[in-house]
Chains A and B, each alone.
Chain A
Amino acid sequence: MKDGTLVVAGMATLSAGTYAFRWSGQLLRARISFPPRAARLLEAAAVVLLAALVATTALTEGHGFSGFARPAGVLVAGVLAWRKAPFLVVVLAAAAVTAVARLLGVP
C-alpha cells in the first residue's frame, strides 16, 4: 500500500458518501407524501434496480463478459427459484453449477 493517509481519506469518503446516500432517500420519502400508486411504483423501482444488479453481476466482469460458467449457475438458480425450490437449494445450485462448469473448462 503506497500512501496510508490517502487510503484512509478514500475509505472515509466512501463510508460517509455511502451513508449519505442511505440517509437521503429516506429523507425524501419522509418529506414528500406519496399516493399509494406512487409508493407501489417506488417498490417496483427497487425490484428493477435489483434485477439490473443481478444481470450485471451475473453476466459482466469489469466492462466485459464474465464468461459462461457464472451466468449458467445463476440461470439454474433462477429456474429453481421460479419453481419454488428451497432457498438453500437455489443458492447452492448456483455455486455448484458454476464450479462444475469451470471444472469442465468452461470459462
Chain B
Amino acid sequence: MSSIWRTLERGVRGNALLVDAGLTCLAVMFIGLSYGAVAVTSGFPVWVPAAQSVLVLAGASEFLFIGIVAAGGSPIAAALAGMLVNARHLPYGLALPPGVTGRGWRRLLGTHLMNDESVVFALGQDDPARKRAAYWTCGLGVLICWPGGAILGALIGSAVHNTGAFGLDAMFPAVILALIVPDLRNRMTLRAALAGAAIALLATPFLPAGLPVLLALAAVLLLARAPSGAAP
C-alpha cells in the first residue's frame, strides 16, 4: 500500500487527485446518508443497509433491492434485479489494465473495490502506477464513506428523509460526469458516449433497470468502425 502513497505524492497532480477523490467520497457519503434513511423509513432494520453497503458496495443496486422488497417483491427477485444493474462491472473489469486491482491476496479486496468512482478515477490516469494508485485511493475511500454514510443515515432515519430538497440526487451523475469530461474531449469518444446515452434513455421506459446502460455498449461499434488513426 505504501507505494500507492509514494505515487500520489509525486507532484501537484497527485494532490489534485487526492482532493478530487476525497470530494467524491464525501459526495458518496451524502448519497449513503439518504440510502440508509430510505432503508429504515421503508421498514428495514439498521443492519440491512449496513451489511448491504459493505458486502454489495454498489449504491444503485442497493437502492433498487430495498425498493423492490419494501414494495412487497421477493428478495430473490430483488437480488436478480440488483445483479442486472451491477452487470456493468464486467465490462469495467475488461477496461482496467491488468494489475490495477492488485496482485495475490490483495486482488480479493481490490476486486471488491471496483465501482463507478474507482474505475473512472483509474481511467483518468496515464501510467499503470498512477492508475493503480487512483483506483485504490478512491476505492478504499468509497469502502469507508458509503457504509459510513449508510449507517449514519439509518441511525438518523427520518430526519434526513427529504434529501431531494437539498439536491443530493444530482450529485452522483454530476460526479461521474465531471470525471469523464476529459475523455469526452476526444471527438470520437464524445460521439459514442452521446449515442450510448441516447440508447440508454430510449430503452429506459421499456427495459428493467440496468439493462438500458448495458445496451449503450452498442454505441462502441461507432468507434470500432472508425479508421485506426482516429481511435480513442
- Residues of chain A whose beta carbon lies under 8 Å from any beta carbon of chain B: 1, 3, 6-7, 9-11, 13-15, 17-19, 21-30, 37, 39-60, 62-64, 69-70, 73-74, 77-78, 81-82, 87-88, 90-91, 93-103
Number of A-B contacts (CB under 8 A): 288
Q: Does B96 lie at the interface of the complex (its beta carbon under 8 Å from any beta carbon of A)? A: yes
Scan B78-89; emit 1 where CB is below 8 A from any A CB, else 0. 111011001111
Are A6 and B194 neighbours in the complex by a CB distance under 8 Å?
Answer: no
With both beta carbons as reference points, the residue of chain B lying nearest to A28 in the complex is identified as B94
A/B interface sample: 22 pairs, CB < 8 A: A7-B48, A11-B48, A13-B80, A14-B61, A18-B57, A24-B93, A27-B93, A40-B232, A43-B232, A44-B192, A48-B192, A48-B219, A49-B91, A49-B216, A51-B180, A56-B197, A59-B201, A77-B173, A87-B23, A91-B23, A91-B175, A101-B167
Not counting A25-B96, A45-B220, A53-B176, a sample of 10 additional A-B residue pairs whose C-beta atoms are within 8 angstroms of each other reads A1-B69, A6-B76, A14-B86, A17-B82, A48-B220, A49-B217, A50-B119, A51-B180, A77-B177, A94-B173
Are B97 and A49 neighbours in the complex by a CB distance under 8 Å?
Answer: no
Are B90 and A49 neighbours in the complex by a CB distance under 8 Å?
Answer: no
Q: A41 to chain B: which residues have CB within 8 Å?
A: 220, 223-224, 231-232
Scan B24-61; emit 1 where CB is below 8 A from any A CB, else 0. 10010000000000000001110010011001111011
Are A51 and B123 neighbours in the complex by a CB distance under 8 Å?
Answer: no
Q: How far is the CB of B209 from chain A (nearest CB, A)?
A: 8
- CA A73 – CA B167 in complex, angstroms? 8
Q: Does B15 lie at the interface of the complex (its beta carbon under 8 Å from any beta carbon of A)? A: no
Q: Which 6 A-B pairs have the closest CB atoms?
A: A25-B93, A10-B75, A98-B167, A94-B174, A52-B216, A73-B170
Q: B-side binding surface: helix, strand, loop or mixed?
A: helix
- Residues of chain B whose beta carbon lies under 8 Å from any beta carbon of chain A: 19-20, 23-24, 27, 43-45, 48, 51-52, 55-58, 60-62, 65, 69, 74-76, 78-80, 82-83, 86-98, 101, 111-112, 114, 116, 119-120, 123, 164-181, 183-184, 188-189, 192-201, 204-206, 209, 212-214, 216-217, 219-220, 223-224, 228, 231-232
Q: A93 to chain B: which residues have CB within 8 Å?
A: 174
For B69, give its contact among A7, A50, A62, A81 (CB under 8 Å). Answer: A7
